Amino acid sequence: MEIREYVEKVNEAAKYIRERISEDPKIAMILGSGLGGISREIDVEKSLLYTDIPYFPLSTAPGHKGELVFGKVHGKPVVLMNGRFHYYEGYSMKEITFPVRVFQLLGVEIFIVTNAAGGINPDFEVGKPMVITDHINLLGDNPLIGPNVDEWGPRFPDLSNAYDRGLREMAVEIAGELGIKIYEGVYVAVPGPNFETAAEYRMLRRIGADAVGMSTVPEVIVANHGGMKVLGFSAITDKGDPDNLKPLTAEEVLENAERAGKAIARIISEVINRL
């Protein structure tokens, strides 16, 4: 697709949404599997199905509704993406990050992401949250490849504060106040869809990662390019211990994501309260 055509499509999607909501969201959230807790706290104004929004990518994953939810949390206008797009599903980087561009055009300033991730830091316990301090992109692709859209952001964006320091510190402080144990660490994104081999977990630890997953990095790159501040959380769902690797199922990941997700939802709620 020509880049100009992509820009037009994003513009049309944003226009469609703007005509249907009363207040532009300042905060956008994309939540990982089993991590939908915060959605119960939204005072919903309007839900829009992906299928109704012009050019919006469509969800293939079963159990994913595919809707954007607009409303308020602690009186602040938010948008929540119910159903995200993964690289392993076959979406292009431009498709995965289409919603993030729409959020940018709607005026979103803060982007909050969560995911389920394997714990490769040996100190990490399953079912606990991690604040993402930084990432490593091993997807082998990048949403910014191709002509740069100068009105959206710079050709060579800076990622020295990809996960905003102020927001991270606030999240850790809030976790402390709430008595929630939280880790801080580096998230590495791999394409998937298989979970890692023992040798791969070992390599990922050696290159400096604390947690591994199959999402988030494309959206975070585009959010930074578009000038948003990012706050990210991983739910540690399993131990990627290369010397003692146990068979892992998606069910186990989901179960443990839900445990960590409760803590993450409480932290996000209080972060939004203080913004």
Contact residues for ligand HPA, defined by CB under 6 A: 116-118, 195-196, 212-214, 237-238, 240, 253
Judged by beta carbon, residue 43 or residue 88, the one nearer ligand HPA is 88
Least separation in angstroms between residue 41's CB and ligand HPA is 25
**134 vs 196, which CB is nearer to ligand HPA?**
196
Let me know: does 224 contact 232? Beta carbons within 8 Å. no
What gap in Å lies between CA 127 and CA 40, rounded to an integer? 20
In the bound state with ligand HPA, the residue whose beta carbon lies nearer, of 104 and 215, is 215
Side chain identity at residue 192, one-letter code: G
CB of 19 to ligand HPA, least distance (A): 37
Give 83 or 213: the residue with its C-beta nearer to ligand HPA. Answer: 213
**Shortest CB 78 distance to ligand HPA, Å:** 25
Please give the sequence-ordered ranges of beta strands (E in DSSP) within 14-102, or none if there are none. Answer: 27-30, 43-49, 67-73, 76-82
Cβ atoms 39, 31 nearer than 8 A = yes
Closest CA to 216 of 35, 46, 17: 35
Contact status, residue 209 vs residue 188, Cβ threshold 8 Å: yes
Position of minimal CB gap to ligand HPA: 118
Which C-beta is closer to ligand HPA: that of 67 or that of 196?
A: 196
Decide whether 153 or 218 has the Cβ nearer to ligand HPA: 218
Token pair, residue 240, equals: 């990627």
**What is the closest distance, in whole angstroms, from the C-beta atom of residue 201 to ligand HPA in the complex?**
7
CB of 114 vs ligand HPA, minimal distance in Å: 12
Q: With beta carbons less than 8 A apart as the criterion, state whether 129 and 262 touch.
A: no
How do beta strands 183-189 and 76-82 pair?
unpaired
Q: Phi and psi of 269, rounded to 5°?
A: -55, -45
Residue 130 Cβ, how far from ligand HPA at the closest point, in Å? 12
